[in-house]
Amino acid sequence: MRLSRYGYLIREGFRSIFTHGFMSFASVTIIMACLIIMGSVSLLSVNIDALIKDLEDENEIVVFVDEEIKDTADAAALQGSIEAVPNVASVQFVSRDDAMDRFMNQYDEDFGVGIDSDVFRHRFVIQLADIALMSSTKAELEAVPGVAKVNAHLEYASFFVTVRNIVSVVSLVLIVILVFVSVFIMSNTIKLATFGRREEIAIMKMVGASNGFIRLPFVVEGLVLGILGGGLAFVAEWGLYSLVSSRLVSGLAGSFISVVSFGTVAMPVFIVYMATGILVGAFGGVNAIRNYLKV
Amino acid sequence: MVHMKNVRKVYESSNTLALDGIDLTIEDGEFVFLVGPSGSGKTTIMKLITGEIRPTSGEIIVNDFDMSKIKRRKLPKMRRTLGVIFQDYRLIENMNVYDNVAFAMRVVGAANKDIKKRVPYILELVGLEGREKRLPNELSGGEQQRVAIARALVNNPRMIVADEPTGNLDPVRSLELMLLFEKINEMGTTVMVVTHEKELVNAFSKRVITIDGGSLISDGMDGYYSYEIE
Residue B108 CB neighbours (<10 A): 18
Distances (CA, A) of A95 to A60, A61, A100, A121, B98: 17, 16, 9, 7, 91
Cβ B107–A203 below 8 Å, yes or no? Answer: no
Task: Output the 3-class SS for A232-276.
Answer: HHHHHHHHHHHHHHHHHHHCHHHHCCCCCCHHHHHHHHHHHHHHH
3-state helix, strand, coil split of chain B in percent (to 5) is 35, 25, 40
Q: Is A163 helix (H, G, I), strand (E, B) or coil?
A: helix
Distances (CA, A) of A101 to A60, A97, A278: 19, 6, 60
Query: Is residue B224 very low, low, confident or very high in pLDDT (cuts 50, 70, 90)?
Result: low
> For residue B99, what pLDDT is reported?
92
Check residues A60 and B137 and name the one with the higher pLDDT.
B137
**Side-chain half-sphere CA neighbours of A19 within 13 A:** 17
> For residue A239, what pLDDT is reported?
94
B 191-230 near A (Cβ less than 8 A): none
Q: Is B79 on the interface with A (CB under 8 A)?
A: yes
Domain segments of chain A: what residues? 3-55+159-294, 60-152
> For residue A108, what pLDDT is reported?
65
Cβ B84–A1 below 8 Å, yes or no? Answer: no
Complex ipTM value: 0.80
How far away is chain A from the Cα of B224, in angstroms, using its nearest Cα?
31
Chain A hits for B92, CB-CB cut-off 8 Å, are 200, 203
- Tell me which DSSP letter residue A94 carries: E
Strands B190-195 and B65-66, sheet pairing: unpaired
> For residue A234, what pLDDT is reported?
95
- Tell me which DSSP letter residue B168 carries: T
Digit-coded pLDDT (tens) for A5-33? 677 778 877 877 787 788 888 888 888 98
> For residue B133, what pLDDT is reported?
95
Encoded amino acid at B135, one letter:
L
> For residue A113, what pLDDT is reported?
65
Beta bridge partners of B32: B192, B207
Residue B230 has pLDDT above 70, yes or no: no
Beta bridge partners of B219: B209
Cβ A206–B84 below 8 Å, yes or no? Answer: yes
Q: What radius of gyration, in Å, describes the C-alpha atoms of chain A?
A: 30
A–B CB contacts, 8 A cutoff, strictly below: 49
What percent of chain B shows pLDDT beyond 90? 61
A 171-200 near B (Cβ less than 8 A): 199-200
Distances (CA, A) of A148 to A86, A92, A143, B23: 19, 17, 9, 104
Residue B212 has pLDDT above 70, yes or no: yes
| A60-152 CATH, one of 1.10.1040.10, 3.30.70.3040, 3.30.700.30, 1.20.120.80 | 3.30.70.3040
Cβ A4–B52 below 8 Å, yes or no? Answer: no
Sheet order of strands, B190-195 included: B82-85, B159-163, B190-195, B31-35, B207-212, B215-220
Q: Which residues of chain A have pLDDT under 50?
A: none
Digit-coded pLDDT (tens) for B100-133? 999 899 888 888 899 999 999 999 988 999 999 9
Residue B228 has pLDDT above 60, yes or no: no
Digit-coded pLDDT (tens) for A87-112? 888 899 998 888 888 877 777 666 66
Check residues B187 and A181 and name the one with the higher pLDDT.
B187
Strands B190-195 and B159-163, sheet pairing: parallel
How far away is chain A from the Cα of B205, in angstroms, using its nearest Cα?
30
Q: In whole angstroms, what is the distance from residue A160 CA to residue B75 CA? A: 65
Q: In whole angstroms, what is the distance from residue B48 CA to residue A98 CA? A: 96
Q: Is A153 on the interface with B (CB under 8 A)?
A: no
Sign of the Cα pseudo-torsion (A109, A112, A118, A120, in order): negative
> For residue A184, what pLDDT is reported?
77
Residue B150 has pLDDT above 60, yes or no: yes
> For residue B100, what pLDDT is reported?
93
Q: In whole angstroms, what is the distance from residue B202 CA to residue B217 CA? A: 17
Of B77, B106, B151, the CB nearest to A8: B106
Q: In whole angstroms, what is the distance from residue A10 CA to residue A2 CA? A: 13
Residue B13 has pLDDT above 70, yes or no: yes
Cβ A295–B52 below 8 Å, yes or no? Answer: yes
Q: In whole angstroms, what is the distance from residue A283 CA to residue A262 CA? A: 30
What percent of chain B shows pLDDT beyond 70? 96
Among A209, A228, A230, A231, CA closest to A289: A209
Q: In whole angstroms, what is the distance from residue B176 CA to residue B173 CA? A: 5
Beta bridge partners of B4: B24, B60
Cβ A208–B80 below 8 Å, yes or no? Answer: yes
Distances (CA, A) of A210 to B64, B107, B148: 19, 8, 20
